[in-house]
């Protein structure tokens, strides 16, 4: 204590306080070590007893399950056996040559075909218009190969289906196909596209005329006519690139450009920018709603347009857009 007072210049009270603080810090460090509880002792016998009890319970549970299985044994069904009175047994017949297209489901069962396969074979034969070859029977789902091999020698059908004579359907010297025979399939409901098509006017053609071009169906033809009506007429063939259904079909656009033309001197339908309402303006594809609002606002603030060149004053109108719009607007 005196050493602390002499070394640090503490008073007697300060030295005692420092000594007390050091004693408290030492007790704080040593207390967890001195007061640590004693670790429990591991007793393997108790754990082993618990394991033995669990094993006994599992064994008793397994015994109960086995007893249930013995009281209710699993049934064993023979393949293709029909226990229900709904499907009575069909007496078997001796195999002899037969026509597969003349047999009923019961006739197939009498020849050893399972009930569900027999019904399927009859249904397939009716849908296909009759079996043409043995190979069709072989591919029937559910028919085992052993059953097919036993019945195949007695089927009055060729092994393979006869090949179609495509040579008879080739066009003649005049480019026309021969007429359909009575046994042939019915002709297609879609008319054939003409091979030598003469170019026609794009602004006067209807959907029927447009559909003569290969690849152009009723849907695409309607879109070509619809866009023509919205524009007021095509002034150049490149406008076909703007048709919605032709944007991803460059080959069809090339076909349309090949067989169509825009008559020289054609005057498209125009819209008067001084008198047309907003609803009339925005229907023009090259104007649209944003530009239609600007045109109406400009008329209200500055009065009527003096010439169509005044439309260039709109800040959103690019030179390329102006060139497209120019043939379809007028100022009166």
- Which of 260, 282, 308 is the last residue in one of the domains? 260
110 Rama sector, left if φ>0, alpha if ψ -120 to 50, beta otherwise: alpha
Specify burial of residue 311 (Cβ count, 10 A radius: 0-12, 13-18, 19+): buried
Task: State CA 69 to chain mean position distance.
Answer: 48
Give percent of the chain above pLDDT 90: 11
Please list the alpha-helical segments (H only) found in 184-331.
207-210, 218-231, 250-259, 278-282, 288-302, 319-325
Residues 207 and 256 in one domain: yes
Domain encompassing residue 147: 100-154
Q: Output the DSSP codes for 156-204.
A: -S-SSPPPP-GGGGS--TTSPPPPPPTTSPPPPSSPPPPSSPPPEETTT
pTM of the complete model: 0.44
Taking the C-alpha atoms of residue 12 and residue 201, their distance in angstroms, rounded to an integer, is 121
The model's pLDDT over 160-205, given as tens digits with 9 standing for 90+, comes to 877 665 555 566 666 565 555 544 445 555 567 777 788 899 999 9
Is residue 91 in some structural domain? no
* Cβ 115 vs Cβ 105: under 8 Å: yes
Taking the C-alpha atoms of residue 124 and residue 136, their distance in angstroms, rounded to an integer, is 10
Taking the C-alpha atoms of residue 112 and residue 144, their distance in angstroms, rounded to an integer, is 11
Is residue 228 in some structural domain? yes
* Cβ 274 vs Cβ 298: under 8 Å: no
214 pLDDT higher than 50 = yes
Residues 244 and 204 in one domain: yes
Taking the C-alpha atoms of residue 236 and residue 32, their distance in angstroms, rounded to an integer, is 97
Taking the C-alpha atoms of residue 96 and residue 90, their distance in angstroms, rounded to an integer, is 17
Q: Which residue has the tokens 């150049």?
A: 236
Query: Which one, of 115, 118, 110, 108, lies nearest residue 92 by Cα?
Result: 110
The model's pLDDT over 108-123, given as tens digits with 9 standing for 90+, comes to 899 888 888 888 888 8
pLDDT in the model for residue 201:
92
Is residue 291 in some structural domain? yes
Is residue 281 in some structural domain? yes
> Residue 330 is inside which H or E element, if any?
strand 329-330
Is residue 36 in some structural domain? no
Is residue 58 in some structural domain? no
Residues composing the chain: 332
Q: What is the mean pLDDT of the chain?
A: 80
Least confident segment among 60-74, 203-217, 280-294: 60-74
- Which of 237, 260, 283 is the last residue in one of the domains? 260
Residues 278 and 232 in one domain: no
Total domains present in the chain: 4
For residue 136, give Cα distances in angstroms to 4, 10, 141, 263: 114, 115, 10, 59
Is residue 302 in some structural domain? yes
Taking the C-alpha atoms of residue 144 and residue 123, their distance in angstroms, rounded to an integer, is 18
The model's pLDDT over 48-99, given as tens digits with 9 standing for 90+, comes to 888 888 888 888 776 655 555 556 565 554 544 444 555 667 888 888 898 9
Is residue 49 in some structural domain? no
Average pLDDT over residues 280-300: 88
């Amino acid at each position: 204590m005196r050493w602390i007072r002499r070394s640090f210049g503490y008073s007697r009270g300060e030295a005692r306080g420092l000594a007390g603080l050091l004693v408290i810090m030492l007790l704080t460090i040593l207390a967890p070590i001195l007061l640590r509880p004693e670790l429990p002792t591991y007793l393997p016998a108790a754990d082993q007893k618990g394991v033995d009890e669990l094993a006994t319970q599992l064994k008793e549970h397994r015994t109960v399950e086995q007893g249930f299985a013995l009281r209710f044994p699993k049934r064993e069904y023979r393949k293709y056996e029909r226990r229900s009175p709904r499907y009575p047994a069909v007496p078997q017949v001796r195999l002899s040559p037969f026509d597969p297209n003349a047999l009923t489901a019961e006739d197939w069962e009498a020849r050893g075909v399972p009930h569900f396969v027999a019904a399927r074979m009859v249904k397939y034969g009716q849908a296909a218009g009759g079996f043409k070859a043995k190979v069709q029977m072989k591919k029937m789902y559910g028919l085992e190969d052993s059953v097919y091999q036993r019945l195949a020698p007695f089927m009055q059908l060729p092994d393979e289906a006869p090949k179609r004579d495509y040579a008879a359907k080739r066009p003649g010297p005049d480019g026309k196909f021969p007429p359909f025979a009575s046994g042939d399939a019915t002709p297609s409901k879609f008319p054939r596209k003409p091979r030598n098509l003469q170019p026609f006017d794009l602004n006067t053609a209807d959907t029927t005329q447009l559909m003569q071009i290969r690849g152009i169906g009723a849907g695409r033809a309607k879109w070509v006519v619809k866009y023509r009506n919205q524009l007021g007429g095509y002034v150049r063939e490149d406008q076909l690139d703007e048709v919605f259904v032709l944007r991803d079909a460059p080959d069809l656009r090339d076909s349309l450009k090949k067989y169509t033309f825009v008559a020289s001197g054609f005057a498209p339908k125009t819209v008067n920018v001084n008198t047309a309402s907003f609803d009339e303006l925005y229907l023009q594809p090259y104007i649209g709603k944003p530009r239609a609002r600007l045109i109406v606002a400009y008329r209200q603030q500055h009065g009527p347009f003096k010439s169509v060149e005044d439309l260039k004053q709109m800040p959103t109108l690019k030179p390329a857009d102006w060139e497209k719009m120019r043939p379809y607007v007028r100022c009166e």
